[in-house]
Chains A and B, each alone.
Chain A
């Protein structure tokens, strides 16, 4: 038995599919790729796939994760090459979904849901209101408390989301051939995830459905340091790269 952790992207048109759609796409993709996945017992056997945090319909991501339990032999004996695996899976997925890294998990590794503590998001803004955004950043970071009202199981309650805003900065960026102004924010997912739309609701220009929101990182905190759940394996390594979450990661820019 070998469990794999996969990092994959969701970009372009495919971003309009739902979390449920993506789960079905993965189930078919795993079968098409011929990956010997473990199935659950019972009336309706299901593949043992476990997805991390859901991504809202319409949002892009460079950092989605998926754990797959396979029947492959342990890493040392595994004949599959990492690059070949990524290639095979990417080929079995629709355009816009691509496997960018894969690694074997240590037995007993906690689930993605347990591990991830925050995410970094990019939000593309118009060129126009740079000044207003600068003021927002100052105001939000300087606030002592940011109460918002949320509904949970039919009950309304007030949450202070200031602790969930870990960082905000502005950057110039290129989207296609357009220069855009980009907000880069890191938002906590614990104890309760602060969603990009909830964050935008706190600014001067709240929700615009057409604004492009992209997840670029998911973060794990361990011993006071931040790590990504999986290294970006961009070199062609022989055999399987063993997953070492102790290696801090450099960010790899992915062009749109």
Chain B
């Protein structure tokens, strides 16, 4: 077996945290590569610590390795210190599983979870020994493929990636494998043409871009037989895909270092800024029995004592309280430790009850984060985050009354129609939450974390002009003023310059390929790390390419203009998105279609699938997205228990 280990090993004593390159994790696979098999190198284009826990890649890793015609290994971006040594020694990208060189693989597949990793993608293709531009790749070079949320606007990476896979990957990876296996030895073009015939696969080199006076006019297939619009893939039921069956357990510290079990996919709460929610519709709950099995098997196999129930909004899972009770209280819990910690990474304010607080407080006291997103009820109607002030206070009261001392609140600034009053509303909410906390615990604290709104493709905000850096900075200043003198409210904010570049890449078109390449050539990798982020590299590259930041980022788009991702579909009808955008401007909310009749956004109706939810009413208390007091209708509101002694 070809391995770079003998060359890598002597470099490791010279780099930081060498354990991230050694492989050997529980769940990693022994080598079994034969020439007929299609070999995938699955890559998360960021450091091992960030990339290893990625569930999407772990799921595909297992599904591919279970196939008789495929083999998959994993790679991550080598940190800058190791990269320098690798380049000095002429050593290329390798898999961590068996330290095989990238050249031993057929497909280099990226998961794109954030736009700021795009320069890392180029760097990794280069380290893998392939030309960074797909047009220059020859027969026998790797195929570069990408999926994940950012693939819903593939255009900025269109010149570097041979093909994109849109939506859920469970089924499509198998179909791609079959096409590549059939075409082994065939000319590259033929393989790409065949891949373009797989539903959910977009081959950008087969689509031509037309411009009109500096604006995008159209993106059209070059040949007949190609879809005008490439539609995403959706797995109809998670019950068919109980993955990962064997979660990979790292030997060194990573983020989210715990068992992760996905309890549902999709979200129809309809927050208008949230790309993840829009593109993953409809809601597909995993059957509770399967969740229980995955938790108990997972804990036994991995030895973890902590499990996270993941989804976009876990408190919305039908029967969440019963599930939590089972996990936390199971007397013969398989890990053999006194209590399994449960974390719910995304908590909706209006679904967080004392019951939930009580269940997860037995867990490790990691901070509780709530995301009211906006400071006033009016603005929350604009973004369709339909939670009332009372919902928020009930939730923080549940938390503080159950012994939490610190609560973190997440907000966006730079939202459509936002006024200074809305921004100052954030400070007011934070102060009121602190007052609630002080009634229950000594030294209560509130952390307010604000980020600039980055309008995303395939959302109702895709037409909205993003706030400038100066405007975001001014709003942060307002907020600091509003919190002056409140020592127990801590304010943190995301760098507005990073939001600017994220915005540029989110809604960019194919011309940005040259900008990304320029920044990469100038050494701009790891841009999502504040110590490496360099706005000036991007500004210089934009100037060199004669492109305007203002045109791409800050301008409001009109309905008649062609959006760069118009030929890519997440199932959502364009007129649904536009109507939702108009509702947003009118501060009019839209309820969750999980529990009320469908309004035909297209995500189910277009694909002949539907929601899979075990309960036809929302599971927990609060206003449940209605913004109304549900007590009047007989549904029980949050009950507050006395503070534990």
Decide if A and B are genuine partners.
Answer: yes
Distance between Cα atoms of A36 and B19 in the complex (Å)? 29
Which has the most chain B C-beta neighbours within 10 Å: A17, A21, A44?
A17
Distance between Cα atoms of A200 and B336 in the complex (Å)? 45
B305→A16 contact, CB < 8 A: no
B24→A94 contact, CB < 8 A: yes
Cβ contacts under 8 Å, B13 to chain A: 58, 209-210
B337→A47 contact, CB < 8 A: yes
Cβ contacts under 8 Å, A37 to chain B: 336-337
B24→A96 contact, CB < 8 A: yes
Q: Which of B17, B23, B304, B338 is the one whose CB lies under 8 Å from A13? A: B23
State which residues 1-37 of B face A: CB under 8 Å: 10, 12-14, 17-19, 21-26
Q: Which of B26, B249, B252 is the one whose CB lies under 8 Å from A17? A: B252
A21→B303 contact, CB < 8 A: no
State which residues 29-43 of A face B: CB under 8 Å: 29-32, 34-37, 39, 43
Q: Which of B23, B26, B336 is the one whose CB lies under 8 Å from A31? A: B336
B365→A28 contact, CB < 8 A: no
Cβ contacts under 8 Å, A32 to chain B: 300-303
Across the two chains, which residue of chain A brings its CB closest to B25?
A94
Cβ contacts under 8 Å, B249 to chain A: 28
Given the contacts A31-B335, A58-B13, A18 and B26 also touching, CB distance less than 8 Å: no
Q: Which of B18, B302, B337, B364 is the one whose CB lies under 8 Å from A58? A: B18
Across the two chains, which residue of chain A brings its CB closest to B257?
A24
Across the two chains, which residue of chain B brings its CB closest to A45?
B338
Cβ contacts under 8 Å, B182 to chain A: none
CB of A41 to closest CB in B, whole Å = 9
B251→A17 contact, CB < 8 A: yes
Q: Which of A20, A39, A58, A94 is the one whose CB lies under 8 Å from B12? A: A58
Q: Mark B230-259, 1 if CB is under 8 A from A, else 0.
A: 000000000000000000010111000100
CB of A8 to closest CB in B, whole Å = 15
Cβ-based interface call for B339 (8 A) = yes
Report how many A-B pairs have Cβ atoms within 8 Å: 76
Cβ contacts under 8 Å, B21 to chain A: 16
Given the contacts A34-B336, A209-B14, A18 and B303 also touching, CB distance less than 8 Å: no
- Per the CB 8 Å criterion, the residue count for chain A at the interface is 32
Cβ contacts under 8 Å, A209 to chain B: 13-14
Mostly, the B contact residues are: loop
Across the two chains, which residue of chain A brings its CB closest to B341?
A44
CB of A243 to closest CB in B, whole Å = 24
Cβ-based interface call for A27 (8 A) = yes
A21→B337 contact, CB < 8 A: no
A16→B10 contact, CB < 8 A: no
Cβ contacts under 8 Å, B23 to chain A: 13
B303→A16 contact, CB < 8 A: no
Cβ-based interface call for A247 (8 A) = no
A21→B302 contact, CB < 8 A: no
Across the two chains, which residue of chain B brings its CB closest to A43?
B365
Cβ contacts under 8 Å, A57 to chain B: 18-19
Across the two chains, which residue of chain A brings its CB closest to B365?
A43
A39→B337 contact, CB < 8 A: yes
Cβ contacts under 8 Å, B24 to chain A: 13-14, 94-96
CB of A134 to closest CB in B, whole Å = 26
Across the two chains, which residue of chain B brings its CB closest to A26?
B303
Distance between Cα atoms of A24 and B26 in the complex (Å)? 13
Q: Which of B22, B338, B339 is the one whose CB lies under 8 Å from A16? A: B22
Which has the most chain B C-beta neighbours within 10 Å: A16, A39, A45, A95?
A16
Distance between Cα atoms of A92 and B301 in the complex (Å)? 9
Across the two chains, which residue of chain B brings its CB closest to A31?
B303
Q: Which of A14, A35, A43 is the one whose CB lies under 8 Å from B22? A: A14
Across the two chains, which residue of chain A brings its CB closest to B17?
A18
A21→B252 contact, CB < 8 A: yes
Distance between Cα atoms of A20 and B257 in the complex (Å)? 14
Given the contacts A32-B300, A44-B364, A16 and B26 also touching, CB distance less than 8 Å: no
B251→A21 contact, CB < 8 A: yes
A17→B10 contact, CB < 8 A: no
Which has the most chain B C-beta neighbours within 10 Å: A20, A31, A45?
A31
Distance between Cα atoms of A45 and B26 in the complex (Å)? 24
30 A-B pairs with CB atoms under 8 Å apart are A13-B23, A14-B22, A14-B251, A16-B21, A16-B22, A17-B19, A17-B22, A17-B251, A18-B17, A18-B252, A20-B253, A21-B252, A25-B251, A28-B302, A30-B303, A31-B303, A31-B304, A31-B335, A32-B300, A35-B336, A36-B336, A43-B365, A44-B364, A45-B337, A45-B338, A57-B18, A58-B12, A94-B26, A94-B251, A209-B14
Given contacts A18-B19, A21-B251, A29-B303, 18 further A-B contacts (CB under 8 A): A14-B22, A18-B252, A20-B253, A25-B251, A28-B249, A28-B302, A28-B304, A32-B300, A32-B303, A36-B336, A37-B336, A43-B364, A43-B365, A44-B364, A45-B337, A45-B339, A94-B26, A209-B13
